[in-house]
Amino acid sequence: MARKLLCMVALISLVLLGQVAPGWADVYNLSNLGDLSAPNWAEGRDGDHVGSAPGSFHSYSNTNPQGQDWNIPSLTIDESKTVYMDQGDGWVIVKTVYNTLSQNVPSETPLFSAHLDDGTVINSSDTVITLIAKYQKDPGSIYPLYDRSSYMIYSEPGQPTTLTMEGSGSNGGTQFTLNATLVEMNTDHTHYGYISNFSVTYPAASPTPIPGAVWLFGTGLLGLACVRRRLRS
């Protein structure tokens, strides 16, 4: 009796494992990313230092063929979420977060919108955009660390100066994530340029929590063993 009960629990776990296993997340690579002659992103530096308010960010596709138009309207920085990670020797990694519309943007405007190439339309009102960059204080500046007029973004020798953009939000209850590399066209504290790559993961991957997955996987294997035993008998 105990063996039959154990086999029943294992078989139920096997069924549940198939139901809760995460589905494949689709990754869409956006186009219309701009170039040296057509910049399409800008980050305002109106505060006293990098990561301070007021500050703004916006980005958009340069052209709008069906399937590839997208837009991030002017968003305002959330200074309370700015993170500074001192790297020593005058270097610092700064994470800045943009999550609300700027005052001059109509309130009904989505924080992120896009037409994906399979026809999916995203209009998100809860998108959070995070910019990540490594800055160095200008050796000739008299201003203190983090001052907006004395910082340059780090770049590898011979490589373009870049920032990383990450984002997340929901579209009708479905979660998505954003990832992009922003190429800066200046080497000083004025930040604007074009995008070298931009991907949207929709829906976002939502893996089963590890403890639950391990339990279901283990009991699922036991269920397979029970099925095999029954077939043999």
Reported as a single tens digit per residue, the pLDDT across 195-224 is: 999 999 999 866 555 455 444 445 545 555
Top pLDDT among 223 and 130 is at: 130
Are 194 and 35 spatial neighbours (Cβ–Cβ below 8 Å)? yes
Residues 43 and 2 grouped into a single domain: no
Percentage with pLDDT > 90 across the chain: 36
Q: What is the mean pLDDT of residues 109-114?
A: 95
Q: What is the pLDDT of residue 168?
A: 97
Q: What is the pLDDT of residue 191?
A: 82
Residues 79 and 98 grouped into a single domain: yes
The amino acid at residue 135 is: Y
Residues 215 and 231 grouped into a single domain: yes
* Number of residues written out for the chain: 233
Three-class DSSP category at 80:
helix
Residues 83 and 100 grouped into a single domain: yes
Residues 103 and 178 grouped into a single domain: yes
Write out pLDDT tens, residues 50-67.
777 778 999 998 765 444
For residue 228, the enclosing domain spans 1-21+208-233
Residues 148 and 227 grouped into a single domain: no
Residues 202 and 214 grouped into a single domain: no
Q: Is the pLDDT of residue 2 over 70?
A: no
What is the rounded CA–CA span in Å between residue 44 and residue 171?
A: 27
Q: What is the pLDDT of residue 76?
A: 94
Q: What is the pLDDT of residue 216?
A: 46
Residues 11 and 112 grouped into a single domain: no
Tally of domains in the chain: 2
Top pLDDT among 119 and 148 is at: 119
pTM of the model: 0.75
Top pLDDT among 192 and 216 is at: 192
Q: What is the mean pLDDT of residues 114-125?
A: 91
Are 180 and 197 spatial neighbours (Cβ–Cβ below 8 Å)? yes
What is the rounded CA–CA span in Å between residue 25 and residue 97?
A: 25
Top pLDDT among 91 and 226 is at: 91
Tell me what the pLDDT averaged over the chain comes to. Answer: 78
Residues 94 and 7 grouped into a single domain: no
